Amino acid sequence: MNGGNKMKDIRPEQFPLARTEQLIVKEVDDEVLVYDLKTDKAHCLNDTAAKVWKNCDGEKSVTDITAVLANGTEALVEEGVVWLALDQLKQFKLLVDVPNAPLVFAGMTRRQLVRTLGVAAIALPVVVSIIAPTPAMAASPCSAKDPCTVPADCCTAHPTCITSGPPGNRGCS
């Protein structure tokens, strides 16, 4: 064994796979809106995050996805941008096969990535998520805007239910 050899970071290529079941996907301008029927959450992927997600086909490696992002643009694209997008997609359960990030990128925040990469030549990936009310929640009489129409049984979480007096003073308290 030669003491002068350094250990190399030998990491097998990983092929991320996007989740496609129980999702409603709509492209709007440079963004992709994804509604998750399992969790009743809506996710908005900016152009960079959307390109990463669309290319997670189980056949492209992280290196391949990085090349796809760089293709057609003169911008420099670092692999860290793809790892950041994969981390966000993993967080919102939009991936089936989740690759393990190299230690250098594991748990890295957007701010840390910008510091590491310098001035980004491509927009950093962004996934924004909101919880959508279920149809049952939206149809609930307990969510009525007019407290006069709130049924008494909706007041179970409150010690007092005011059902008399001026309209502005009725409802749960």
Per-residue model confidence as pLDDT tens digits over 31-81: 999 999 999 999 999 999 999 999 999 999 999 999 999 887 777 788 888
pTM of structure? 0.64
User: Quick one: 51 exposed, middle or buried, by C-beta within 10 A (0-12, 13-18, 19+)?
Assistant: buried
Helix, strand, coil abundance in the chain, percent, nearest 5: 35, 20, 50
Residue 114 is classified by DSSP as H
pLDDT tens, position by position, 153-163: 555 544 455 55
Interatomic CA distance for residues 137 and 142, integer angstroms: 9
Q: How far apart are CA 30 and CA 32, in angstroms?
A: 7
